[in-house]
Each structure stands twice: as C-alpha cells, then as structure tokens.
Amino acid sequence: MTSEHESAETDSIEELLPWHAAGTLSRRDAERVEAALARDPELARRYQLVREEFGATIALNESLGAPSARAMENLFAKIDADPQRRPRAMRGLGARINDFFGALPPRTLAWASVAAVIAIIAQAGFIGMMATQPAGGRFETASAPTTAPGVGAFTIIRFAPQATMDDINKFLEMNHFDVVAGPSAGGLYKVRVADRALPQAELGALTQKLQKDKLVGFVAPTR
Amino acid sequence: MQTSSDEVLISRIANGDRLAMQVLFARHHVRVYRFVLRLVRNEATAEDLISEVFLDVWRQAAKFEGRSAVSTWMLSIARFKALSALRRKPEQELDEETAAAIEDHSDDPEVTLAKKDKGAVLRECLTGLSAEHREIVDLVYYHEKSVEEVARIVGIPEATVKTRMFYARKKLSELLKERGIDRGWP
C-alpha cells in the first residue's frame, strides 16, 4: 500500500469516528476503525476529541428541558377535531370491518377468500339439489295424500277471527280437507274438500254445512 | 426492541388507536422537541411544532412503509416543519435569537477559559454552530443516527453526510480556538 493510499484510508476512517463514538457503525466498519485506532496514535488522539464532542452534545441537549403539557393537550385536541381521521371508537361499523380485513396479512386474506368461494359454491349446489328434488321436498299434510293439482272439489274459506291455528288444523284434519292456496288478500284460503269433483248440489250442501261451523267466517264453492 | 415496538404502535395508530398515539408521544416527544428547539431556538415555537409533527404521524401512519426507523421518520417530519417555520419568521427576529444564543465574546480568551471549564466552553461553541452544522452534530451524537439515517432525514447523499459532519467538527475547533482552546486539530 502506498503512502497516498494510506492517507486516503486514514481520511476515510477519520470521517467515521463520530459514528464509531455513537456506536452506529456496521460491524465491518467498526472493526476497520478499531484496527486503525490501534495502529495510529494520532488517530486515537483525535478520537478522544470526538468523544469529548459526543459527551458535550448529549449534555447540551439534555439541558434543553422538555415541552410543557400544553404540547400534548394541543395534539390530542387536534386529533379529536381532525376531520381527516377519527379515533377508532368514533368510527362506524363499516370502517371497523374494513380495518379488520385491511389488517389481515395478504396470505391470510387470500386463503380466507378461497375458503369463502368454496363455501358459496357448496351452498349453491346444495340449494340447487333441494330445488330440483321431486316430491320429497314439498310440504304435505298427513291427511292429504298426494293428489294431482286441480283434481277434486274446492271451496274458498275465510276462517272466523277468533279461530286459532290449532283450531284450524284440527278442523282440516277432522274433515280430511287440504289447503291448496292462500291466504290471499282478505285472509281467504282455497281448500280441497274432496279428492274428486263433486256434483254442484253436493258441493252446495257441503258449503252450507261448513258455513254453520263456528270456525268458518265465510265459505263459497270454487273451481 | 424499541424499533419493532414503535412499528407496532404505528400500525395501531394507522387503525385509529388513540392510546397507541399517546404511547408513541410519551416515548419520543422530548427528543423530537429538543431536535426542533435546536433548530428554531424558540421554546413556544418548538412546542407548537411538535404538536404538528405528531399530528402528521397520526394522519400519515397508514403510509409508513417501515423502510426506516420510526424515530428517523419522525425526525424527517420535524426537520421539515422546523425549516418551514424558520422560513416564515422575519430575518431580524432570527438574527436576534442567533445572537442571543451565542455568548458574548468580549472577554479575553484566557479570561473566558479561566471562568469556565472546557466542557462548558465546548457546549457554548456547539450552540454557536450554524443551523446546518448543529443539525448534523445533534443527529449523529444525540439522536444516534447512522450515516444512512442522517442522509434520509436531511435529504442528502451519504458521502455529503460524512463531509458535512467533518466540516461541522472543523468549525467547532475554530470556535474553540477563538475561546482559547487549541485542540491541535485540524
């Protein structure tokens, strides 16, 4: 190494002395400085000057005191009044849900999205299966065996206001009736009163008999 | 350890956590205040500025990317605020404050030295440095910032950080010499 190179190296090391004193050099640079200090007494003397400056700077700054409580009061008054950002307690549910998903790591969020998509597809498949399944999925009363729609004799019935659901169920069961539609506006039900079509006179007689039942408010034959 | 804790606090602040803001303020406000005070040389102005610095932290926390230490980021904000405040101040007011900060040199250097110990004179001379030199000396010695961190705070290349620090120390030696202390360097 020439003397010119040695001089350049010394200058470069000397520039690092303040950071060596503060302990903020990388390990590699700190080792370079330590080696140079060990072999160069003049550099070691200058390092002592740096250490004096270091101590004086800390003493000077520590003598500056601290801000009053006013600084903190001002800050939090501004934060509470800040229209750009509100403290969490004052924000809406939507913002907090947004914060929750925003705080998740991208990998977690990706896996959660995949799981949600799978759940939605599975649910859609299950609903589709239920919808396309034949008779098994339909509502039937115990008293009404499977009958083709439109087959039988029908009446329109509005039950008395005091009739309870329990009363109505017992009435339908006892007479082997079957509600096929309703209630429509006005509380009218279409009720199958026979599994086969009845002659008009027979249906009329049945209607008159039903009209006398205290549970029936109104009854009329229909198709 | 404290660095990672600061980062956790910042992520909480980004979510609007007021308590995390109080913790961060309690941890750093004195150092930020002193950094600003050394630049603006006015306690009331420094107090106002640290409120502004931490309000910026509250507002910008979500944008903090963790490429530097939280304290480095805050000192960058503080520096910007301090320099903006200095630019707003009338020149005359600045000169008066600067003059007041530097002690009366009318005493003979030997008399000055006899009055005070070397440490006290050194502290006075540190006060007499220019704002640019005070800033870099404080960042390196008091705020314990690396070359890279100082470069980030001040916005200059790392090589310039080293040379600026060298010239700040050289100026300090000159001021000491004027006060009767010859350090034999440079």
Q: What is the pLDDT along chain A (223 residues), one digit of tens a residue?
A: 567 777 778 889 999 999 999 999 999 999 999 999 999 999 999 999 999 999 999 999 999 999 999 999 999 999 998 876 666 555 555 555 655 665 565 666 677 777 777 777 777 776 666 656 554 444 444 444 445 667 889 988 888 877 888 888 888 888 889 888 887 766 778 899 998 888 888 888 888 888 888 888 888 888 8
A158 φ, ψ (degrees, to nearest 5): -115, 120
Check A53 against B122: CB less than 8 A apart: yes
Looking at the complex, does the CB of residue B161 fall below 8 Å from at least one CB of chain A? Answer: no
Q: Which of A20, A29, A44, A58 has the alpha carbon at shortest distance from B141? A: A58
Can you give the pLDDT at residue A140? Answer: 45
Whether B38 sits inside 8 A of A71 (CB atoms) is no
> A36: distance to nearest CA of chain B, Å?
18
Amino acid present at A29: D
B60 lies within 8 A of chain A by CB: no
Query: 3-state DSSP helix/strand/coil percent for chain A, to nearest 5?
Result: 60, 10, 30
Question: What is the DSSP track for A32-74?
Answer: HHHHHHHH-HHHHHHHHHHHHHHHHHHHHHHTT----HHHHHH
Is A7 inside any structural domain? Answer: yes
Torsion from C-alpha of A117, A123, A129, A132, nearest 10 degrees? -90
**Model pLDDT, residue B97:** 54
Q: What confidence tens digit (pLDDT) does each residue in B41-50 have?
A: 999 999 999 9
| Among the partner residues B17, B47, B126, nearest to A67 by beta-carbon distance | B47
Please check whether residue A101 is in contact with residue A109, taking contact to mean a CB–CB distance below 8 angstroms: yes
Kindly list the residues from chain B whose CB atom is less than 8 angstroms away from the CB atom of residue A78.
Answer: 51, 55
- Model pLDDT, residue A213: 87
Q: Where do the domains of chain B lie?
A: 2-88, 104-178
Number of domains in chain A: 2
Q: Is B103's pLDDT higher than 50?
A: no
Classify residue A60 by burial, with Cβ atoms within 10 Å: 0-12, 13-18, 19+. Answer: buried
Kindly state whether residue A147 falls inside one of the protein's structural domains.
no
Between CA B185 and CA B169 the distance in angstroms is 10
Q: How far apart are CA A61 and CA A66, in angstroms?
A: 10
Q: Which of A43, A62, A81 is the last residue of a domain?
A: A62
Residues of A in contact with B27 (CB under 8 A): none
Q: State yes or no: pLDDT of B158 exceeds 90.
A: yes
Instruction: Provide the CA B151 distance to its chain's centre, in angstroms.
Output: 14
pLDDT tens-digit profile of B30-65? Answer: 999 999 999 999 999 999 999 999 999 999 999 999
Secondary structure tally for chain A: helices H, strands E: 8, 4
| Chain A interface mutation, best of B118, B140, B171, highest count of A Cβ atoms under 10 Å | B140
**Chain B nearest C-alpha distance from A80 (Å):** 9
Q: CB of A54 within 8 A of CB of A22?
A: yes
Which residue of chain B comes nearest to A74, CA vs CA? Answer: B51
| DSSP strand pairing (A216-222 vs A178-181) | unpaired
CATH of B2-88, one of 3.40.109.10, 3.40.50.1100, 1.10.3720.10, 1.10.1740.10: 1.10.1740.10
Res B163 pLDDT > 80: yes
More confident residue, B6 or B103: B6
CB B143 within 8 A of CB B31: yes
B58 contacts in chain A (CB < 8 Å): 79, 82, 85
Contact B55 A79 (CB under 8 A): yes
- pLDDT > 60? residue B94: no
Q: Which residue has the higher pLDDT, B168 or A160?
A: B168
Please say if the pLDDT value at position B108 is more than 80. no
Q: Please, how many CA atoms are within 13 Å of residue A195, restricted to the half-sphere of its CB?
A: 7
Domain boundary among A45, A62, A79: A62
Here the CATH number for the domain that contains residue A200 is: 3.30.70
Residue A208's domain comprises: 153-222
Which residue is it, tokens 């992520």? Answer: B11
Would you call B181 an interface residue with chain A, using a CB distance cutoff of 8 Å? no
Instruction: Match 């409120």 to its residue by tokens.
Output: B51
Confirm or reject CATH 1.10.10.10 for domain B104-178, answering yes or no: yes
